[in-house]
Structure 1
């Protein structure tokens, strides 16, 4: 920017062009000052600055704030799932037909898991009971996200912002306390929340079971059902000791993660009481 300075040998008071230029410069300074943000902290105030705020924004964006009292049924990989919650009480169910054509139903409640075959209660070993319970709970957990990320056992930390496919995301790290965190409380999760929409577009997690590994999921097929944002996922990942979750977003963007499966939730139906609560 060029700066005008007065001549040391000639007065400027008699030069109307210099006087006019000075007035224009003053006007521009005043104009630019009034066009700036009225509150210099407005942008930062509008941006969630804690993990809890980011999660709450996502819960609102997905329309799942009322999932503490909900009833929903859906299909996943040829099995029927049901979720019923009632302010701390829950019943999660899974129904399918086994290899011999017999109907099987798993029911997981606050009291534990029961398996029925041909409507008869089966006696299970502790190992089998834990495995079936973990399987049912895993499906319902991912279906209900981001609901549940404010549970008492959740330990959430806002890490940073990352860019994926041209969009900015708040990255939240989640671990679980040993007490109340379930059998897989050692797993580590990263959730990627769209800065613009508040929605959960990506997630990653490590796991120890079955020799361990890491997974990265990309949300697809987003749709609103009774006001709830339901979405499917493309599942990427690596099995074994390679569990560098801090680098997982870069590896996904670079195409370094093999595609493992597509996770599709179909025939999603919410009970009437859900629509009535909204």
Structure 2
């Protein structure tokens, strides 16, 4: 069974779960406030749209550096295209694994199977590590001790995986990836490709910090577009929890689980569930999935 067939077989259950969660959340919505917020959206929303291609570029650049560690295997243009493909696949695959599954298409188009796959995996891990670094600092500034502790714990765990790749359970990882690609990989080559020089790891972590900061400036602008008064530092502090919610594997691209987490975290600063749901759907689904995903799907169909 190929990747498209696997995607099709798993989507129905995820769609049902997402719809059930959204139906439950609709009971919390003030429809008058919802319509008023949409109708009176601030023109600053255009800034959020303008940020999108630059945010994707930073993600593509990070992956390009990892991929080309031993020579030029992929151009920045193709890295950008494959990043868009990853966004498109996130719509159909659980736990935002489209960013990893894009390696399937990268391999079909460019070859270098293990390099494509290993670079996509460590790219995802480095992105998460950077997010927890940001979150721990922001939570510490706000004196949110529980959140700072959680972010630091996750940061340490991911740091060990990235800087000490010998600890990675390669056999299990190979099985999971083989489930999607139906291809057995060379574990030794995969492990070797994963062992990046520390200099590259540090550079890509710094790029990830820039990418996340830019992305959550976009989130902040979306909040301003709907006249929601929220601290940018607070957004950075909760960013890791918001993204963890999107990794819930039984929803369609985190639809539903992302909104539940946003409602909870926004309620801590007295923001209504209606605005929380609206901002979550606009930012995570419209801006960062549907719009770039359309371009990603077009690239898949073209190739």
Is this a same-fold pair by TM over 0.5?
no
> Larger C-alpha radius of gyration, 1 or 2?
1
Bigger relative contact order, structure 1 or 2 (CA pairs below 8 A, ≥6 apart)? 2
Which structure's residues are more often strand, by fraction? 1
TM-score, normalised on structure 1? 0.25
Which structure's residues are more often helix, by fraction? 2
